[in-house]
Amino acid sequence: MEFEEFFLTFAYVPNSGAKLERLPYRLKTWDADLRDYLAFLDTKKPVVMGGDLNVAHLDIDIYNVESPHVVKSAGTTPEERQSFAQTLQSLDFVDTFRKQHPHVTGWYTQWSQRAGNRPKNRGLRLDYFICSKRLDVVDGFICEQTAPWASDHAPLGVTLRL
């Protein structure tokens, strides 16, 4: 969507798969194409992108980061995490939640329903609003208690000063 002062776009980034069979596509094609598209938009005006980006960027975005399976699981591989870091850095974008809450722990956006992890808050932060650094982010927030029965993901919000 194009607004007077910025573009707003949403994405669902493909999951790399249970056996990471889609990881090469994700890294070499999807992430690269997404960076190119966002860079193109950003030449015209600032960009805000939200969605399920299927990556837990930082260690504090993973409740069990020390578990051996984490580095071999979709969304938490070192390659996916590095690719997301590259996206933020190369585009000069910011993770709106971490900009406002850089060290907070225990805030996740996805919990395994199969394992019953939501009540125990054993989750991952896979959903984001990211935006051009030149936008003034007032807050990025997670609405984890909004309709918890409706999805294994929590809704997000971002407040900008225009």
Please answer whether residues 111 and 125 qualify as being in contact, where contact means their C-beta atoms are separated by less than 8 angstroms: no
Helix (H) or strand (E) holding 142: strand 136-142
Please answer whether residues 158 and 137 qualify as being in contact, where contact means their C-beta atoms are separated by less than 8 angstroms: yes
Q: Is 44 helix (H, G, I), strand (E, B) or coil?
A: coil
> For this structure, is 101 an active site residue?
no
> For this structure, is 12 an active site residue?
yes
Strands of the sheet with 127-132, listed across from one edge: 7-12, 47-52, 127-132, 93-95
Catalytic residue, from 25, 63, 108, 153: name it. Answer: 153
Helix (H) or strand (E) holding 96: helix 96-100
- As annotated, the active-site residues are 12, 153
